[in-house]
Structure 1
């Protein structure tokens, strides 16, 4: 009986430690997302209308992209519905083609309707191969529009890469219970 109780205690403690570690990682990504939103608005105040009027959005504060012929991208983000955090997101991309370099970007995806946001949350969302993000350095956020229920913006943080595509990105979603 003592062995069973000991095993249950060890299992409970290890699960608690794993949940705390995950929660610390999520807290860091959330803090980075707040800073990323500030940087996005500083770079292009026209984004405020998207933050105010979208059904929801995902901010990926640190997307790393890199490649030479074969490339990839990955990042973790925060999902907002209204302006409330509802979950965490993951981004992955693998592609083959003409590309070279490495880059760190902030990426934000706005969802025009709750149907569009729910598609993302249900795992039924993926960009078409030809999709590109609006680069905020170009200053055209004021005139940007939703396409098929989404609008995507990217703000380069560091590096140089000849690739603005977001096509082929795959996403994961994990709800947060607050």
Structure 2
């Protein structure tokens, strides 16, 4: 399943790279997304991620979301999204997005997060079409299932529009 996910995402993103290779920023963002997915595949949550991508209607990859704060904080990252038709197996995209936000409160430090959001249904996909939304407020997002058998049986979050997977490093 890990190889399946890697091959699918690599092919989908690679097909689009040739068309848009003229723009260095676009090509760099695609390469960063591929590296983030490769790292995620090697993590313990890869089995759940692969199944979620296979059955979902899309995947958004933000390879480097930087958060920093000292009382007042902020976050910013750029990524891409691929649309998936689970019936035909066809992939479309990429579309390019940025993620940002701010916060106020007791906080200090900085971190960098590779974030992968699997979009499970049309409700989740509509959130990306709107331009601005807040995960957890405007559209429900839950931590994605992990482990080889995470999709077997009933999942309490089965109706969640978006699953999130992340790897964070920082202080």
Q: Same fold (TM over 0.5)?
A: yes
SS in 2 for 1:126: coil
8 Å CA contact 2:74–2:101 kept in 1: the answer is yes
> Which consecutive unaligned segments of at least 5 residues does structure 2 have?
1-19, 85-90
8 Å CA contact 2:115–2:166 kept in 1: the answer is yes
Hey, what does 1:166 align to over in structure 2? none
Hey, what does 1:171 align to over in structure 2? none
1:149 aligned residue (156, 161, 165):
161
8 Å CA contact 1:56–1:114 kept in 2: the answer is no
Aligned counterparts of 1:124 and 1:117: Cα–Cα separation in 2: 12
- Against the structure 1 CA distance between its residues 102 and 132, is the aligned structure 2 distance closer, same or farther, given a 3 Å change threshold? farther
Report the number of matched residues: 135
Hey, what does 2:32 align to over in structure 1? 32
- Against the structure 1 CA distance between its residues 62 and 147, is the aligned structure 2 distance closer, same or farther, given a 3 Å change threshold? farther
CA RMSD for the aligned pairs?
2.7
8 Å CA contact 1:133–1:154 kept in 2: the answer is no
Aligned counterparts of 2:130 and 2:116: Cα–Cα separation in 1: 18
Give the C-alpha shift of residue 61 in structure 1: 0.3
Aligned counterparts of 1:109 and 1:64: Cα–Cα separation in 2: 16
- Against the structure 1 CA distance between its residues 132 and 99, is the aligned structure 2 distance closer, same or farther, given a 3 Å change threshold? farther
Larger Rg, first or second structure (1 or 2): 1
SS in 2 for 1:123: coil
> Which consecutive unaligned segments of at least 5 residues does structure 1 have?
1-19, 161-178
Hey, what does 1:51 align to over in structure 2? 53
Q: TM-score normalized by structure 1?
A: 0.66
